[in-house]
Structure 1
């Protein structure tokens, strides 16, 4: 993705680009923020914009030799460690460290991007620590993590932390309008994506998502047979995080009803179901439902009977 096409964190991105183009970079960065909000994409686009041979105020040209090499992942002075491997092992860290000490021959520097840096095991992190303490001249290391607590404190303390925020509704609205969604439906989708641009793009392309969403809302508003409905939710185990995110956003909306807000719905049918649910939940009832939802999420992380857990939650809704 081109630098000018990135979504969200505009001020942060501009500051980073200014520093990189002026050569006033830190030796090591730690890009923080939840999954899917553009940390990895921004890091790659930042390098392209900084190294572009024909740059403009919008970033990279996309056509010069440097841009072409970066787009094809063949630039000799950039190394990428993406999130395809489950663990980053010590041998890989040693090889990357040796590469960092090589002298760049066109930009005068080398840049290493490590996605999901928390995948480094303790041995890998300790091995990498020496490089972070005494980085090679001209080298820039960008670690990216949605779970920085899994990194050693000594790793975190040696990095310049850059915190990314989820995009706002206004920032993603042009994308949603292009997909044919009105403002309310767009807000509902952004909430369902939990602020993740990656998830939002996937939802926009998923033709089955909206039918699935309507089914979740319908079963929450009208549980009917608790055994059957609990069984249905338990069978969604493969997409349980998405189910929980959707339920969480719906409950958040319903909590705002007494204060004049309206639940974001993707269509009139969903609005009708949510309105019916809201009429049953108010005051202490809503607090009880929230408590049950918290317990449901906790139990789901254990070896529990998921169907029984959902049945208990559904009972709180009626």
Structure 2
């Protein structure tokens, strides 16, 4: 299992694997890293692999053996020198961070490096981020932090500057597209789900999810309504968007779909040849690209990104979508 993990990291992220090996070989292990890449790219698996390498009892050629006690316990989540936290509800809170840092600085652990992982690090609230920042400024002993994020721009710049950034490249999208189409997924739906995730399993799950397909259709209707009249868009939020506002994850998915729709419009306007997220809407997207300016598109994209931030701050979801529609409508008046 662990050798398979090593092979997978080497095959899918060769630059990342090479960087791990070089750091280990040269005894230049950093005290903090940010693993940055889109959802489903394998950041968590890479963090586990790196932790195994740092704790392995008998590494070979700068690769963890996968069979020693340390490697096995790391793989099973039972190594006492590895701790992980993730958002508690909407965000990562100060008490979570304080508890983690307190445990990591206490004595009594096994010898060797201690490693803490912060999943979805961009969702630390201000107090949690400040607590981490203080620790990063004054690292103690052989401790390594690994922050995982798919929204690097949302991590505080002061934290970014104190961490080594390791960027994960997405897999060849065309290959994933062909795999999904071979499994019977329509080309248009395959294009949409591969815009949202690089994980082949997750992409197939989304494509088979009737609610996701319905959400995609509703997003298209919303863009059409915004293009027509703001009152139509607001009415659509009250009617057809309601089922998707019950869960934060569904709302976030809708915002992502909206974001990719407007990115398609920007790409069409700029004459880019990248595979669109909505290839079945080429005529409509072309018409919007012809009549919208870059400033208008930039304003709308910024409004959607701001809505994503507000979503994680517990803003009422119906109100958030209504304000987004009004903000997007205002963006159309940008000269």
Compute the TM-score of the two structures, normalised by the length of structure 2.
0.66
| Match of residue 252, structure 2, among 230, 241, 248 | 241
Contact 2:118–2:148 (8 Å) recurs in 1: yes
Q: Deviations over 1:123-169 (max 9, x none)?
A: 6336524651xx32x5444344545765583x555443333344441
Q: Deviations over 1:273-294 (max 9, x none)?
A: x144235324333657626634
- CA pair 201-59 structure 1, distance change in 2 beyond 3 A: farther
Matches within 5 A, 1:161-176: 161-170=165-174, 172=176, 176=180
SS of 2:115's partner is: strand
Give unmatched runs, 5+ long, in structure 2: none
Contact 1:31–1:162 (8 Å) recurs in 2: yes
Q: Deviations over 1:57-115 (max 9, x none)?
A: 89666555444322221124x3222204432343431221114x8551xxx44433333
Task: Please tell me whether Structure 1 or Structure 2 has the larger radius of gyration of its CA atoms.
Answer: 1
Look up the match of 1:310.
325
- CA pair 5-295 structure 1, distance change in 2 beyond 3 A: closer
Contact 2:113–2:143 (8 Å) recurs in 1: yes
Shift of 1:250: 2.1
| Match of residue 16, structure 2, among 12, 24, 28 | 12
Shift of 1:28: 0.7
Look up the match of 2:28.
25
Inter-partner Cα distance in structure 2 for 1:49 and 1:180: 40
Contact 1:29–1:162 (8 Å) recurs in 2: no
Contact 1:4–1:58 (8 Å) recurs in 2: no
Compute the TM-score of the two structures, normalised by the length of structure 1.
0.68
Inter-partner Cα distance in structure 2 for 1:308 and 1:219: 14
SS of 2:27's partner is: coil
Contact 1:9–1:165 (8 Å) recurs in 2: yes
Inter-partner Cα distance in structure 2 for 1:240 and 1:79: 33
Inter-partner Cα distance in structure 1 for 2:120 and 2:327: 36
Look up the match of 2:49.
45
Matched, 1:125 2:136: no
Inter-partner Cα distance in structure 2 for 1:172 and 1:62: 29
Matched, 1:209 2:212: yes
Look up the match of 1:254.
265
Alignment coverage as a number of residue pairs: 300
Inter-partner Cα distance in structure 2 for 1:17 and 1:182: 41
Structure 1 stretch displaced more, 35-44 or 122-131: 122-131
Give unmatched runs, 5+ long, in structure 1: none
Inter-partner Cα distance in structure 1 for 2:143 and 2:114: 5
Inter-partner Cα distance in structure 1 for 2:154 and 2:327: 33
Shift of 1:42: 1.2
SS of 1:210's partner is: helix
Matches within 5 A, 1:12-161: 12-20=16-24, 22=25, 24-34=27-37, 36=39, 37-48=41-52, 51=55, 64-76=68-80, 78-85=81-88, 86-87=92-93, 88-99=96-107, 102=109, 104=111, 108-117=112-121, 119=124, 121=128, 124-125=131-132, 128-129=135-136, 131-132=138-139, 135-136=140-141, 138-145=142-149, 146-147=151-152, 150-151=155-156, 153=158, 156-161=160-165
Structure 1 stretch displaced more, 36-45 or 276-285: 276-285
Contact 1:230–1:311 (8 Å) recurs in 2: no
Contact 2:33–2:146 (8 Å) recurs in 1: yes
Contact 1:82–1:116 (8 Å) recurs in 2: no
Inter-partner Cα distance in structure 1 for 2:14 and 2:288: 39
Q: Identify the structure with the greater helix proportion.
A: 2
